[in-house]
Structure 1
Amino acid sequence: MTLTRDGGSLFSANMAGTLRLIVYLAIASVLMVLDHRGHWMGKVRYGAAIVVEPLYHLAGLPASGFRAARVAFADRRKLTEENKQLRVDLLLANARLNHMAAVSRQNKRLKKLLDTRRQLGMNVQLARVIDIDLGAFSHRLTLNAGAHQGVKVGQVVIDAHGIMGQVTQVLPGTCTVMLITDPDHAIPVTDTRTGLRTVAHGSHESGQLSLTTIPVSADVRVGDKLVSSGLGGRFPPGFPVATITHVEPQLSGMFLTARAKPSADMQRADEVLLLRDLAPPVGPPAPASVDGPPRALAPDAVGSSSTSARRSR
């Protein structure tokens, strides 16, 4: 017979545990049968559920919190990605819109140039601006047309609004244009209101022309339109040049000084027109012949003829 440490029988202990299990199973079976037939255990279960449910929720809090945190993090990351994609789409949309607006403005400028070309009825050449220099001492443009396209030094450059300048240097594929606002440039102009003729010089002030030889008695007002007078033959007459913006007397009191804003759009022109087949500029007259006696009666001629006669004798 097997004995335990305290002197009891191991078989007796196992039998006692088996009997308790049988008793518990019998009680459970009876309760299940009674509950199934009489439903008298429902209130007990309901009350037990009230007591146990908070404990159940408390035990599930870590899992619920982890699941909520994971969902929140996933939603935040998704929202961040969607927000980033929306910003990219917005930037692309704005870029396309700006590009379309730029193309629309370019088409309007080209239409104005073509209208100007038809209105002038002159032989002109379209060129595109590829570089611009509007520094303090130089106002120049570089065009994508040169000697290969038939461009020559001295050609007048205009846009849809007026005269811009003239070609000063020609390379095989490009040319350089001196703007009328360049400090070294001058253009003869006429006041359309009074017919006054004067000369408009470029200035160091950005985008301005200076008129410094206006008589004090001249009638010049702010808002007067200046057009090319055609004197000298370099610029054809009647093309818009500038509008008077300021008039004041000089310190000497002998002349008036005026400033004018060019009619052409110097800073935003993308395409320009070069005038062709214009008459060559009128230069200074040829030197007059020297007055005097006929060449046969000149002193040198008479002396040489006398000497030759003496030798023949």
Structure 2
Amino acid sequence: MMAYLALAIGLMVADHRGQYGQQIRARMAWLTEPMWWLASAPSRAFTASREGLALRGQMQEDNARLRRELEISSARLNRLNAVAEENLRLRELLGGTRGYRLNVQMAGVLDIDLDPYRQRLVLDAGSNTGVRVGQALIDSGGVLGQVIEVGPRRSTALLLTDPDHAVPVQVVRTGLRAIAYGMGRTDRLNLPNIPQSADIRVGDLLVTSGIGGRFPAGFPVGTIAELNPDATRLFVVAQAQPAAHFERGLEVLLVSNLPPVTDMGPPAPRPSPTPATPAAQAPKPAPGNLP
């Protein structure tokens, strides 16, 4: 016992000073590592197969969901195409803005000024690329504003929320028309002078009405957020949350109405007047006869 104890103490002292035990353990680990890898192979294979099955199941669910969404989107698109064709036929019958189309152009944002008293947007497109004063700006959310200054390579747009900006809007649910004014805030638009009897609610969607021809009809403008009576208690003042993303996005679309398309051909030539012939002239009375 004493001999074994002395041997153990000697080995511990040698291991502490010479680190012999650590070297031996490292070599033994190198030798036993293949055995550990083989022993853990079934567990790793089971884990990999389970993760693969779960990933495959998730992909199948996502694929089915995307297929359903695609079918729904296709149905909606077909419905919108049918409505557009019907709208075009009605416009033809009514003699309205027949064949209106949109001119769309993309432009990049160089600078944006969101000062409460001056809200402007500088674009990297100008008259050289066809930009002109009055074109409407939209992004993925809705209407941003309109172009007010155009240079050869740059243009400046007035944002929808500028205090000097106004846009004709229409409530989608009821067709009520109003004017939305900027308030100098990127989260609010003001709609004053709404009659008390008007059917308008919080949450109603506002789109451009197309009145005036500056903004094409049908683009989202905002959503009604508040309804309050004015000072006279005779009208309602509504405040709307803008649909556009004023504080993010590096590209915008410039849209404008193209002239209506007409199917009428060139006017038919007018027939030239036929000169009167002597036969066509009234006969003169004979001498001596009473007229």
Amino acid at match of 1:201: Y
Amino acid at match of 2:212: G
1:262 corresponding residue in structure 2:
242
Amino acid at match of 2:198: A
> Any conservation in 1 of the 2:116–2:184 contact (CA below 8 Å)?
yes
1:240-255 aligned at under 5 Å gives the runs 240-255=220-235
> Any conservation in 2 of the 1:207–1:266 contact (CA below 8 Å)?
no
Q: 1:152 aligns with which of 123, 132, 137?
A: 132
> Any conservation in 2 of the 1:166–1:179 contact (CA below 8 Å)?
yes
Question: Would the alpha carbon gap of residues 61 and 249 (structure 1) be closer, same or farther in structure 2, given more than 3 Å must change?
Answer: same
Q: What is the aligned-residue RMSD (CA, Å)?
A: 3.4
Give TM-score scaled by structure 2 length.
0.54
Cα distance in 2 for partners of 1:157, 1:54 equals: 86
Superposed displacement of residue 150, structure 1: 1.8
Superposed displacement of residue 253, structure 1: 0.9
Question: Would the alpha carbon gap of residues 62 and 196 (structure 1) be closer, same or farther in structure 2, given more than 3 Å must change?
Answer: closer
Superposed displacement of residue 165, structure 1: 0.8
Partner deviation per Cα, 1:84-134 (whole Å, 9 max, x = no partner):
xxxxxxxxxxxxxxxxxxxxxxxxxxxxxxx9xx99842211122333333
Cα distance in 1 for partners of 2:9, 2:210 equals: 104
> Any conservation in 1 of the 2:207–2:219 contact (CA below 8 Å)?
yes
Superposed displacement of residue 217, structure 1: 2.7
Cα distance in 1 for partners of 2:136, 2:124 equals: 15
Q: 1:194 aligns with which of 139, 160, 174?
A: 174
1:218 corresponding residue in structure 2:
198
Cα distance in 1 for partners of 2:125, 2:105 equals: 9
Cα distance in 2 for partners of 1:58, 1:263 equals: 76
Amino acid at match of 2:152: P
> Any conservation in 2 of the 1:163–1:264 contact (CA below 8 Å)?
yes
Which structure: larger Rg?
A: 1
1:171-190 aligned at under 5 Å gives the runs 171-190=151-170
Cα distance in 2 for partners of 1:221, 1:277 equals: 30
Question: Would the alpha carbon gap of residues 216 and 148 (structure 1) be closer, same or farther in structure 2, given more than 3 Å must change?
Answer: same
1:79 corresponding residue in structure 2:
none
Amino acid at match of 2:183: S
Cα distance in 1 for partners of 2:251, 2:134 equals: 18
1:273 corresponding residue in structure 2:
253
Unaligned runs of 5+ in 2: 27-76, 85-99, 260-291
Greater strand share, structure number: 2
Amino acid at match of 1:234: R
Amino acid at match of 1:269: G
Amino acid at match of 2:145: G
SS in 2 for 1:122: strand
User: Which shifted more, 163-172 or 48-57?
Assistant: 48-57
Superposed displacement of residue 65, structure 1: 5.4
Unaligned runs of 5+ in 1: 1-46, 73-114, 280-313
Question: Would the alpha carbon gap of residues 65 and 122 (structure 1) be closer, same or farther in structure 2, given more than 3 Å must change?
Answer: same
Q: 1:57 aligns with which of 11, 14, 36?
A: 11
Cα distance in 1 for partners of 2:151, 2:195 equals: 42
Equivalent residue pairs, number? 188
Give TM-score scaled by structure 1 length.
0.51
SS in 2 for 1:123: strand
Superposed displacement of residue 67, structure 1: 8.2
Amino acid at match of 2:242: P
Cα distance in 1 for partners of 2:258, 2:164 equals: 23
Superposed displacement of residue 59, structure 1: 4.8
Greater helix share, structure number: 1
> Any conservation in 1 of the 2:102–2:258 contact (CA below 8 Å)?
no
Partner deviation per Cα, 1:210-264 (whole Å, 9 max, x = no partner):
1112122322211222222333332233333222121111132122110112233
SS in 2 for 1:222: coil
